[in-house]
Amino acid sequence: MSLPTPDEILDDLAFFDDWEERYTYIIDLGRGLPKLDESLHTPERLVKGCQSNVWIDVQADADKLYFKVDSDAVIVRGLLALVMAAYNAKTAAEIRSFDIDEYFQKLDLERHLSPTRGNGLRAIVSRIQGIARAAEPA
């Protein structure tokens, strides 16, 4: 399954009347993510600052970054899907220029997450942006 674009996600979420339906949609997006091989569940891929375990693996192909992500929590896999819609298969410059705060604001997401989930989401974004910074040519 390929992920919808951030704009498609925003359009899809607009159809739902309440956050319970939106959470179901977000969880379904996460279920569509490919599982990360257990051998990649390593300490160096583990994102610090998340309540749940989150692993991020990245491969560069030409100038694009391809992320594989996983979590042991279904809602977090859904949040990862939202982030992957914004960042996966993009150049480092595209990742760094994407306004993730505006995207989250449009999703009205952080208002509906617990503080610890919100902190974890910011840790995931920070890790990916750091990977993009490191991948940019000097």
pLDDT in tens, 59-111: 999 899 999 999 999 999 999 999 999 999 999 999 999 999 999 999 998 78
- Give catalytic residue positions: 50
The three-class DSSP label of residue 100 is helix
- Report the distance separating Cα 126 and Cα 130, nearest Å: 6
Q: What is the pTM of this model?
A: 0.94
Q: Sketch out the chain's domains with CATH numbers.
A: 6-135 (3.90.1010.10)
- Report the distance separating Cα 52 and Cα 16, nearest Å: 27
Residue 25 class from Cβ within 10 Å (0-12 exposed, 13-18 middle, 19+ buried)? middle
